[in-house]
Structure 1
């Protein structure tokens, strides 16, 4: 993949995520207003259909839930909360089987559509199939490690080489993800020599900083979106975010930075 191709791929991915979020912030507004003339179930399906129209080809279903008293919220002029579940969203046109799930919650969604939802919170769920494809395409600096990256027992595991007493030693690294100002860093906590299977604490063999690496995630996301957390649970990575509705809608083409 050339530098131009990689940049275009990252740009497409940014537009995909932006389209998903704008769907919640803007498109849902018109959909929930239909509750005035249609039932809750009908309005939820209409909202889900509108979101699906903005998702990449091959995406799974979208599900929308409007909790609380419909009547009271109609009288107030806005819905306090709108929940959406987006299933099997492809992250890359070249890897259609690598998908993520996205859970979104929009707060204070006006019925008249005059302004966007006040805030959108969400979480992206990434599994072992999606992780290598995501890293290879979005972060070429980690391409050499992408194929060995796996999510295991709440940690991220990858393979690399270190120099020990003048010799190259293949090691498997178990690391925890850390998030700071839109940048994700994989901090090693344990290494294992691949040829012997002898496990040691990482600090006994090599400075952990030599095996750690990080990448800026914020530069591929809308500027109005803030990453708030990252974690590995079992064999799944979770990335939490929040977004101001007005900032997201007005700066949809602007990207963040670290």
Structure 2
């Protein structure tokens, strides 16, 4: 072979002119890479959509549930259909709704009438069944004014015509008969509660408009004096629903704040919704 027709050698590879490799179509590695890059975004989108649905469901539950609970309470307690009643819940509602029981339910109203006594009520119930049944428990407060407190004591044997509050005490005004003559009496008590009864502990008294010494009036007026000067337990169970138990009483400004515990069956047992009794 002559030098005139010599074969030229291949150029040496260099960084300036890299050799291109054509991928084999049978090799699926390229598609796998694209899929690996794409699936995290798909999962993220699904998670975001599910989260949005959960949030929306929770908001709907919070918007709808108070009205449903309000209707149930009004029906169970036979309250007026236009009764003002605020309903609040705690925690995430969806898990509680799925379980069929609310952990905590808070009810409040500025004015409600139960067994003839009208006042503001604030109640917290726990373990509230959504498909019927008894509560796990409940407690709350009832705030009543001087007029309602007077009505609460009107059926007792205390000589009560009026009641005036001056925290922490309440002054009861009335009269008792002496030889056919009505003698005005005023006794200032500190209220409390003992074993479900209202307890009145006297701190001052006046008879006929004259301040008297509690120790002297107690000894000079016999049983009547003892009734005025000694701590007095008064049953008011017959003035409250049978399912409520008095646990505390205190004077706060112009109101008497009555603490009560409620029997969990009060929402289903009509006997507990009726007036209680002082027969023991």
TM more than 0.5: yes
Deviation at 1:60, TM superposition (A): 4.7
Match of 2:271 among 241, 253, 257: 253
Partner of 1:122: 140
- Where do 5+ consecutive residues of structure 2 fail to align? 1-56, 220-224
Q: Does 1:178 align with 2:192?
A: yes
Deviation at 1:251, TM superposition (A): 4.4
The size of the alignment, in residue pairs, is 210
Note if contact 1:189-1:201 (Cα within 8 Å) is conserved in structure 2: no
Say if 1:183 and 1:78 are closer, same or farther in 2 by CA, change over 3 A.
same
3-state SS of 2:157 partner? helix
- Where do 5+ consecutive residues of structure 1 fail to align? 1-34
In structure 2, distance between residues paired with 1:205 and 1:126: 31
Q: Does 1:63 align with 2:86?
A: yes
Match of 2:167 among 145, 153, 160: 153
In structure 2, distance between residues paired with 1:60 and 1:67: 23
Deviation at 1:215, TM superposition (A): 2.9
Note if contact 2:133-2:268 (Cα within 8 Å) is conserved in structure 1: no
Match of 1:202 among 214, 232, 239: 214
TM-score (norm 1): 0.65
In structure 1, distance between residues paired with 2:243 and 2:102: 22
Q: Higher RCO, 1 or 2 (CA under 8 Å, sep at least 6)?
A: 1
Deviation at 1:55, TM superposition (A): 4.7
Spell out, residue by residue over 1:71-123, the C-alpha distance to the aligned partner (whole angstroms, 9 max, x if none). Answer: 34335442110000133123576xxxx72111111101233x25322111121
Spell out, residue by residue over 1:189-208, the C-alpha distance to the aligned partner (whole angstroms, 9 max, x if none). Answer: 11245535xx5552254356
Quote the RMSD (CA, aligned, Å).
3.5
In structure 1, distance between residues paired with 2:173 and 2:163: 7
Describe how 1:104-119 pairs up with structure 2 within 5 A.
104-111=123-130, 113-119=131-137
Say if 1:103 and 1:66 are closer, same or farther in 2 by CA, change over 3 A.
same
Partner of 2:27: none
In structure 1, distance between residues paired with 2:203 and 2:82: 36
Say if 1:87 and 1:51 are closer, same or farther in 2 by CA, change over 3 A.
farther
